[in-house]
Amino acid sequence: MVAEHEAKELLREAGVPVPRGVVVRDMDFAPVAELREPLVLKAYGPEIVHKSEAGAVVLGLSRVDVPIEAARMLASGVAAEGFLVEEQAPGGVELIVGLVHDPGFGPVLLAGLGGVWTETLRDTALGLCPISEGDARRMLGSLRGSPVLYGLRGRPGVDVDAVVKLLMTVGGSGGLWERLELGEFEINPVIATESGVVAVDARYLPAAHASNGGQDGVIDEPADLGPHSEPTDLGPHSEPTDFGPLFEPRAVAVVGASTTRPNFGNMFLEFYKAAGIPLVAVHPEAREVGGVPAVPSLAVADVDYALVAVPAERCAQVVREASGVPYVQVMSGGFGEAGQPELERELVAAARAAGTRLLGPNCMGVYCPRGRQTFVGGGLGPAGTVALISQSGGLAGEVIKVGERRGLAFSRVVTVGNAADVTPAELLRWLSADSETRAVGLYLEDPRDGRALYEALAAAPVPVVLLVGGRSAQGQRAAASHTGGLVSDGRIWQALADQTGATLVTSQDDLIGVLAFFQAHGARIPRTTGPDGGVVVSGGRAGSLGAALAGEGIPRGTTADFRSMGALVIGPSGGASVLAADAFDRAGVSLGPLPDSVLGELRGLGLGAGSSLANPLEVPVGPRSGPDLVQRAVEAIVRHRSYPDVVAHVNVQSFFTYGTRAEPLFEYARALAAAQDALPETRVTLVTRNGECAPPGVEDEVRAIVAAAGIPVYRTMEAAAVAVAAGGRNGTA
């Protein structure tokens, strides 16, 4: 560990205020005369880690006290190599600012409430370096204890700009993180007052020493990411690849299908035959396999894509012969994920030697209706604008099938398996620039590629929805500093999403639901006009609202308006409306109040008799009410105040309990579709609660009616709220 005064010297050079102090090695305390009282005495030495706990720090001393206290420390057994005597900074709010090098994501900045309460409060925020100034402000604002920074009950706040500057100096572009060899670096505490900041303690563990936490009684083991994450020695592929032919190959080869015992290869052969893509089988002897012409080797197959389904030990040999094939997918498992990293390295080496890009191993492949690429049975769905990158083939298959059932149409789906060569980050870069793709879903289980992923997400001009599996298991590492102990991969994923404007969801259902929202509303530009008629938010790229909330791009006041406007919720009265308000509140979507100017008009429509007019707006929705009431109410309100989102909900059960026909429900759906058609700058969303009470086919019909107008449908308020919140984060998708 680097001594405190040396770590502080690094801070001083970087422009961070530190207390004036002197280092004493030989018990000659004469230089202390230069310092202003009160003074702080700190012992340092290789065995002293947490000074307070070791009795190695004393505050509030006069000059004459210092030698006496130093002698007392030595007598009490403090293993001091020397002493740091420094001026005591005035009290203020104690913060922690730290850096760690995460094995998956690289340098990560931590900021939070510090001092002795760090561990107890655990009130900290993370950001991947480099952070922007907007990130710094958002991180501070996200602390539960942020009111102590901004001022509380008449008490003045601290100089927040100085704190932001400190965060930028440590974790911003060109900051300390670029010059340090992390390890871990930590300022705990930095004292923030009305007039600035002072770093009164600093700790620096360079990379080589960071794992030597033994003196602290804590052993810092590298995160056990399993053999799955065993890096290949070959390093990443360097030149950017055009993945077009991966998704739309001229022709495909399947290696491994059998003439005698049908296996996975035969199954994929059948899928490809059904998809109608030009196809060849690779077989050592046969002239045809399952009715498909066969050639003896990939070397003589004129295809853009080869699927390899032979035992792991034979895969490298097959790939070596693939020099004319730009993409090879290895379906077989039995590599890194099965404790055979050397087989995986051999496979990557074979791909490099052949000049082909390798998908997998241990992966299902590619699905692209436009390119007749598939790995699922049951035929190709419609071609669309939603892309998916998945580390799990099984999950990708489910998202395709369930998503299509719910109206998603895919541009391209790719599974990456062990991602030994082609990585999610590389694919995300390509897909986010792909003209067919308007939104990307990502399913990942592994932060290994975190750094490149951060860069790809930050650069993505399309909305990205991120589902991370195994977050709860990606725990905290043991570490020698507070910072190390407070950073866990689970929290870094959230920071990654916050910084890049991606939406982090927690279930497969929400992954599909949020993608459906972007598919339906991606081209809509919500134009929010305030009561004065001024345009509040319009245009901009994905993530612009997230950036704006963080203080960039769009002026702050306007985003506050956007937020307060939020969504208009409209549906039947009673508990459902009350619970709707709660669901949107939990998702962070505000339900801005109805404008006074529209209340008379709503009363004219017969609304509000006996109940108040508010948001959620309660309208009679059911088998016996006028179906176009919802349309007239929504159009009237949006003329007065343009909510970016309108969420209409119906209780499907009521139509079949108090009525017998589906027609009134269809009429309601048609009226809502008409409202959407009339309001191109508003995103209308439908929630069909209790859909299981409808006769078969009715829900599908409702979905089809509103889908024609570009309205997404959810079966629960919670699912709709998550999607609307994601749409709000992305402003204009």
Interface residues toward ligand ADP, by CB under 6 A: 19, 40, 42, 50-52, 57, 59, 86, 88-89, 94, 115, 188-189, 200-201
Tokens representing 216 are 């602290």
Which one, 201 or 421, has the nearer CB to Mg ion? 201
Choose between 115 and 141: whose C-beta lies nearer to Mg ion. 115
Angle, nearest 10°, between helix axes 508-521 and 393-405?
50
Smallest distance, Mg ion to C-beta of residue 188, A: 4
47 or 313: CB nearest ligand ADP? 47
Least distance in angstroms from the C-beta of 492 to ligand ADP? 24
Q: Which of these segments, 188-196, 213-221, 357-365, 549-557, binds Mg ion (CB under 5 A)?
A: 188-196
- Residue 51: CB minimum distance to Mg ion, A: 7
Q: How far is the CB of 727 from ligand ADP (least distance, A)?
A: 44
Answer for the pair 650, 687: CB distance below 8 angstroms, yes or no: yes
From the list 434, 249, 228, 437, the residue with the least C-alpha distance to 328 is 249
Q: Which helix (H) or strand (E) holds 41?
A: strand 39-44
Least separation in angstroms between residue 420's CB and Mg ion is 43
Q: How far is the CB of 483 from ligand ADP (least distance, A)?
A: 12
147's CB contacts (< 8 A; 6+ apart) are none
The values of phi and psi at residue 720, to 5°, are: -65, -40
The residue written with tokens 């209790």 in the block is 690
| # residues contacting Mg ion (CB under 5 A) | 2
Residue 191 Cβ vs ligand ADP, minimum distance, rounded to whole Å: 6
Structure tokens belonging to residue 353: 């030697």
Instruction: Please say which residue, 45 or 141, places its beta carbon nearer to ligand ADP.
Output: 45
Residue 213 vs 403, nearer CB to ligand ADP: 213
Q: Which of residues 240-279 bind Mg ion (CB under 5 A)?
A: none
Nearest to Mg ion of 201, 509 (CB atom) = 201
- The rounded distance, in Å, linking the Cα atoms of 613 and 605 is 12
> Of ligand ADP, Mg ion, none, which one does residue 52 interact with (CB within 5 to 8 Å by kind)?
ligand ADP
User: Which of ligand ADP, Mg ion, none does residue 489 bind (CB under 5 to 8 Å by kind)?
Assistant: none
Give the integer Cα–Cα distance in Å for 257 and 260.
9
Tell whether residue 87 is a contact of Mg ion (CB under 5 A). Answer: no
In the structure encoding, which two tokens stand for residue 733, read together?
A: 């998708």
C-alpha closest to that of 268 among 393, 411, 428: 393
Q: Which is nearer to ligand ADP, 110 or 128 (CB)?
A: 110
CB of 114 to Mg ion, least distance (A): 8
State which of residues 124, 132, 188, 730 lies at the interface with Mg ion (CB under 5 A).
188
Q: Specify the DSSP class assigned to residue 268.
A: H
DSSP β-bridge partners for residue 648:
570, 686
Q: Residue 304: which of ligand ADP, Mg ion, none does it interact with, CB under 5 to 8 A by kind?
A: none
Which residue has the closest beta carbon to Mg ion?
201
Which of ligand ADP, Mg ion, none binds 230 (CB below 5-8 Å, type-dependent)?
A: none
**CB of 89 or CB of 308, closer to ligand ADP:** 89
Q: Tell me if 371 sits within 8 A of 304, measured CB to CB.
A: no
CB atoms within 10 A of CB 609: 7
3-state secondary structure at position 252: strand
In the complex with ligand ADP, the residue whose CB is nearer, 57 or 721, is 57
Q: Indicate the residue among 1 and 363 with the shorter CB distance to ligand ADP.
A: 1
Spatial distance between the Cα atoms of 634 and 681, rounded to a whole number of angstroms: 13
Q: What is the gyration radius of the CA atoms in the chain, in angstroms?
A: 31
CB 62, min distance to ligand ADP, A: 15
Minimum gap (Å) between residue 38 Cβ and ligand ADP:
9
Report what 538 binds from ligand ADP, Mg ion, none; CB cut-off 5-8 Å by kind. none
Neighbouring C-beta atoms of residue 33, cutoff 10 Å = 8
User: What residue type is 79 in one-letter code?
Assistant: A
Q: Quick one: 90 or 222, whose CB is closer to ligand ADP?
A: 90
19 contacts which partner out of ligand ADP, Mg ion, none, CB within 5 to 8 A by kind? ligand ADP
Q: HSE, CB side, 13 Å, CA atoms: give it for residue 283.
A: 19
Instruction: Specify the residue, 86 or 201, whose C-beta has the smaller distance to Mg ion.
Output: 201
Taking CB under 5 A as the binding criterion, the range among 193-201, 215-223, 404-412, 709-717 that sits at the site for Mg ion is 193-201
Q: Which stretch binds Mg ion (CB under 5 A): 196-204, 340-348, 429-437, 721-729?
A: 196-204
Can you tell me whether residue 56 is helix, strand or coil?
coil
Structure token digits, residue 126: 């993370």
Work out how close the CB of 166 gets to ligand ADP at its nearest, in angstroms, rounded to a whole number: 16
- Token reading at 160: 């927040």
Q: Minimum distance between the CB of residue 480 and Mg ion, rounded to whole angstroms?
A: 13
Give me the least distance between CB of 18 and ligand ADP, in Å please: 8
User: What residues have CB less than 8 Å from 155, skipping those under 6 apart?
Assistant: none
Distance from C-alpha of 602 to C-alpha of 614, rounded to nearest angstrom: 11
Min separation Cβ 72 and ligand ADP, Å: 17
Name the minimum Å distance from CB 521 to Mg ion.
49
Q: β-strands 82-87, 39-44: how paired?
A: antiparallel
Q: Is 452 exposed, middle or buried (0-12, 13-18, 19+ CB in 10 A)?
A: middle
**183 upstream amide cis, omega within 30 of 0:** yes
For residues 469 and 412, give the distance between their C-alpha atoms in angstroms, rounded to a whole number: 21
Chain centre to alpha carbon of residue 574 = 36
Taking the complex as a whole, the smallest distance from the CB of residue 718 to ligand ADP amounts, in Å, to 43
Taking CB within 5 to 8 Å according to partner kind, which of Mg ion, ligand ADP, none is near residue 686? Answer: none
Residue 40 touches which member of Mg ion, ligand ADP, none, C-beta under 5-8 Å by kind: ligand ADP
Query: Is residue 201 a contact residue for Mg ion (CB under 5 A)?
Result: yes
Rounded to whole angstroms, how far apart are CA atoms 22 and 29?
9
Query: Is 483 a residue that touches Mg ion (CB under 5 A)?
Result: no
Q: For tokens 């049975």, what's the residue?
A: 377
**Residue 567 forms beta bridges with which residues?**
645
Q: Give the nearer residue to ligand ADP in terms of CB position, either 61 or 386.
A: 61
Q: What angle do CA 210, 215, 217 make, to 5 degrees?
A: 95
Nearer to Mg ion, 190 or 520 (CB): 190
50 binds, among Mg ion, ligand ADP, none (CB under 5 to 8 A by kind): ligand ADP
Q: Which of helix, strand or coil describes residue 135?
A: helix
Q: How far apart are CA 487 and CA 110, in angstroms?
A: 8
DSSP state of 477: P
User: Candidates 30-38, 200-208, 687-695, 722-730 — which segment interacts with Mg ion by CB under 5 A?
Assistant: 200-208
- Considering the complex, state which of residue 88 and residue 590 has its C-beta at the smaller distance from ligand ADP: 88
From ligand ADP, Mg ion, none, which one binds at residue 57 (CB under 5 to 8 Å depending on kind)? ligand ADP
Question: Within 13 Å of residue 682, how many CA atoms lie on the same side as its CB?
Answer: 31
SS3 111: strand
C-beta of 57 vs 439, nearer to ligand ADP: 57
- Footprint of Mg ion (CB under 5 A): 188, 201
